[in-house]
Each structure stands twice: as C-alpha cells, then as structure tokens.
A and B are shown apart, each in its own frame.
Chain A
Amino acid sequence: MTVKHFTQDNFEAEVLKAAKPVLVDFFAEWCGPCKLAGPVMDELAEEYKDKVIVGKVNVDEASALAGQYNVMSIPVVIIFKNGQEVDRITGFPGKQGYEEKIKALI
C-alpha cells in the first residue's frame, strides 16, 4: 500500500473518520527538509500498513487544512486518532523518530 494523498475533500473521510491512527505529513515542493521526510513516509506506509495509515498533504494545494491545524513550520507530521490530533512531530527526526511515535500508538 502506498502513501495516501489527502486533500480538503477527502480529509474528513480518510483521516478524521479512519478506523486506524493516521500520520499526516504536511509538506511543500519548495521545502528542502520535506524531501527527507517524503521517502521515509513511503517506507513507513508499507511497513506499518496493517497498523496505521500514512498520508501526505501538500500545503500549497490545501492551505486551508494547514491553517486549520496551525501548521507554521514544515515538515510536520500530525498524528490523528479517532478524529483528534494526538501528537505532532516538527522537523525531520529520521525514520527512527517516526517509528518511535508509531510504536507508542499501536
């Protein structure tokens, strides 16, 4: 399973109403450090596909979502569980950093 692409239109159905915890990577094309997080998200999506959903939001295409969730610095990964934000990771902590958060969730 590849990483999902969340938009304003599918965010409620695919993130807020999801049955599993969801990691949402807010990114932009012009952000250097985001390029580091991108491939790691792809790996995590595959490795933890039974436990969590992993997806991305392009902040240029979905600026309202970024505003709604107070995104002021990217890359940031916000973790949602049962429709609520339960954690956020600002900056790029390495694959390990994300994995620690996932393990705490499952």
Chain B
Amino acid sequence: MKMYDLIIIGLGPAGLTASIYASRYKLNNLVIGKQLAGEIGLAHKVENMPGFKTISGLEWGQRTLDQIKHLGAGVITNEVGRIEKIKAGFRVYLAGDNQPDYESQALIVATGSERRRLNIPGEQEYVGKGISYCTTCDAPFFRDKTVVVIGGSDAAVSGVVHTAEFAKKVYLVYRRDQLRAEPAWLDEYQKISKAGKAEAIYNTNVVEIKGNGQRLTGVVLDKPYKNSVELNCDGVFIEIGGVPGTGLLKPLGVEINDKDFTQEAEDMSTNVPGLFVAGDITQHSNILKQAITACAQGALAAASVYKYLKKEQAPRILGV
C-alpha cells in the first residue's frame, strides 16, 4: 500500500488550503472528503473572500479543487469511516469498507461540522417534503410559496435573502431578540423586509412541524404570533449551525472539549503525535467561524506537518 506523507480528511476550505500548502512544501498528499467545499459549498453567494467580488461557495470550491489537483494532490470524494493509528502513522478506511485503503505518516483532520437538527416532532418525517437544510439547493422549489427560515446567523439571514428571490413570503423565526449576521447581510435583509417579503419573529422557537403526510403544511411556535401559535407555510429551512464532526477523532483519543470541539495547540497539533486539525472542528474556530480563517488554519496545519515530518521549520518564503 502506498504510504503518503500526509492524508487530509475534509474537502472544505481548511482541507483544500492545507493541500495547497502541503503540495508546495512537496509533501505527497491525498485529500479525502465527502462534500466539496464543505459548509461554504452550500452558500449561494460569498462576498467576503478576497479576490472575488461575488462568487458562489460551490464555484469557489471547484476552483480550489482544480488548484489542488494542478499542484499534484490526490483527491477522493468519499466519506472516511475510520482511522487507525499504526506505528508508521495512520491508516484510513473509507466508509462501508473494512479493508484499509490508505496510509500516511501524518494526518490533518478538517471534517468541519454536521448540520444541527432541531430534534422536534415532524422534523424527520418532513425532510424532503418541505424541510430542508440547504437554502441554496432548495429555495427554487418554493416559488410563490410561503417559507419559514429558522435561525439568526449568517446562514439563516443570507438564506432568507436568497429564498425571498423565489418565495412569496419568508418568515424568519429566531430564538433570540437580535439577528447575528454580518451587517452586509442585515442590510440586504432590511431591504426585503421593508418590501414586505420577509418578516422576523423574535424570541420564539419552532416546537413542531405539521403536515398532511404528503407534505409540510406549517409550524407550531412556542408562543403566539399574531394571536396564533400555528404558522402556515409550504417549506421550512433549518439554518441553526452545525455540530463539530469530531466522530472520527474520539476513538483515537484526541482531546475534545465539552462542546465537542478539538483541543488543539496554536500550531494545530493535537495530543496525538502526527495528527493535526483545522477548520470548524477546532476550538479556535469559535473565535471567527469563516472560510478564510479555516483556510488560515489549514495553511498553518500544513506548515506544522512539514515541521513534524522534516524536523525543521517550514520554509517561510516558499515560491518567491
């Protein structure tokens, strides 16, 4: 079996950038991930990435994927099922496969986060029948319909803006009293709100999803809005963030904090020698959970891998 210098798990901003740096450090690397561009791949419009006035998250991912392939990285689109620590480094098994598939001396795990679910009655039943976790994917199915978006962060507010391009009316239901999105998104939200297309319902939770068996017909709120706890709608987008995808790391004994984030050092190393982390699974991502900071962590992790493998500092002005 081929032994790579480095296997990177995750095809989001952190994993992709780690591969760019690793390839330029001439580390033989393989990237394995299940979703190109990760979380940002679901963003319909990204306007804070340097060099791009506006770009879809998916297009950004495709361009960066082209870049890492051009630099020589191997890429496998698949979920990783299991990682095993071996004497020489690590052995990686793809999901549903009991044969060891790949081995490397060092590992960067950048598996991001999984969509958080509400875990309320009706949620599971109506996924695909009106409930969605991706406004970019599914907003166009709600042309001239009434839609509820749950959440108050960037993903929720930008999701309202995108959904309002199609829907007749969008309600934003948020458990707090103030939205937490970037001011630029809030401006866009205010515009559609003034036009009467969007309406926010604050300090309120959705506690149940209603439907007729075939499709979703509305939601139940934990307090009345306009004298009713029932709000009729055709679709519900759940945009309440993610939970760190640290499942692969726990069996290896990687230190995880009480909020399920990895407890890495500033150089992205973990307590397991040779195992580095980057992006949304890290405790450092809590300071600013953005693609660009995930990219920075990916670069840093790659430099730390170089130092770990070569026992010397990574070149500082590589390629100049």
Shortest CB distance A74–B (Å): 6
Contact A88 B128 (CB under 8 A): yes
**Distance in angstroms between the alpha carbons of A19 and B91 in the assembled complex:** 44
Chain A positions within 8 Å of B111 at CB level? none
B58, CB-defined interface residue at 8 Å = yes
Contact B141 A66 (CB under 8 A): yes
In the complex, residue of chain B having the shortest beta-carbon distance to the beta carbon of A66: B141
**Which segment of B132-140, B251-259, B290-298 sits at the interface?**
B132-140
Contact B128 A32 (CB under 8 A): no
Chain A positions within 8 Å of B130 at CB level? 72
Shortest CB distance A84–B (Å): 15
Shortest CB distance B99–A (Å): 14
In the complex, residue of chain A having the shortest beta-carbon distance to the beta carbon of B61: A32
Contact B128 A73 (CB under 8 A): yes
Partner of B141, one of A32, A33, A72, A94: A72
In the complex, residue of chain A having the shortest beta-carbon distance to the beta carbon of B44: A30
Partner of A72, one of B34, B57, B138: B138
Contact A70 B215 (CB under 8 A): yes
Contact B137 A96 (CB under 8 A): no
**Distance in angstroms between the alpha carbons of A35 and B62 in the assembled complex:** 11
In the complex, residue of chain B having the shortest beta-carbon distance to the beta carbon of A90: B128
Contact B79 A94 (CB under 8 A): yes
Chain B positions within 8 Å of A34 at CB level? 137
A65, CB-defined interface residue at 8 Å = no
Partner of A96, one of B44, B95, B131, B140: B95
Chain A positions within 8 Å of B142 at CB level? 72
In the complex, residue of chain A having the shortest beta-carbon distance to the beta carbon of B95: A94
In the complex, residue of chain B having the shortest beta-carbon distance to the beta carbon of A60: B140
In the complex, residue of chain A having the shortest beta-carbon distance to the beta carbon of B37: A32
Contact B56 A30 (CB under 8 A): yes
**Distance in angstroms between the alpha carbons of A59 and B140 in the assembled complex:** 10
A28, CB-defined interface residue at 8 Å = yes
Residues 148-195 of B contacting A (Cβ, < 8 Å): none
Contact A72 B136 (CB under 8 A): no
Residues 65-111 of B contacting A (Cβ, < 8 Å): 77-79, 95-96
**Distance in angstroms between the alpha carbons of A92 and B77 in the assembled complex:** 13
Shortest CB distance B93–A (Å): 13
Chain A positions within 8 Å of B44 at CB level? 30
In the complex, residue of chain B having the shortest beta-carbon distance to the beta carbon of A71: B141
B3, CB-defined interface residue at 8 Å = no
Contact A32 B132 (CB under 8 A): no
Chain A positions within 8 Å of B132 at CB level? 72-73
Q: Which residues of B contact A (CB under 8 A)?
A: 34-37, 41-42, 44, 56-58, 61, 77-79, 95-96, 127-132, 134, 136-138, 140-142, 214-215, 235
Q: Which residues of A contact B (CB under 8 A)?
A: 28, 30-36, 39, 59, 66, 70-74, 76, 88, 90-91, 94-96
* Contacts A/B (CB < 8 Å), 11 sampled: A32-B42, A32-B137, A35-B58, A36-B34, A70-B214, A72-B128, A72-B130, A72-B215, A72-B235, A94-B34, A94-B79
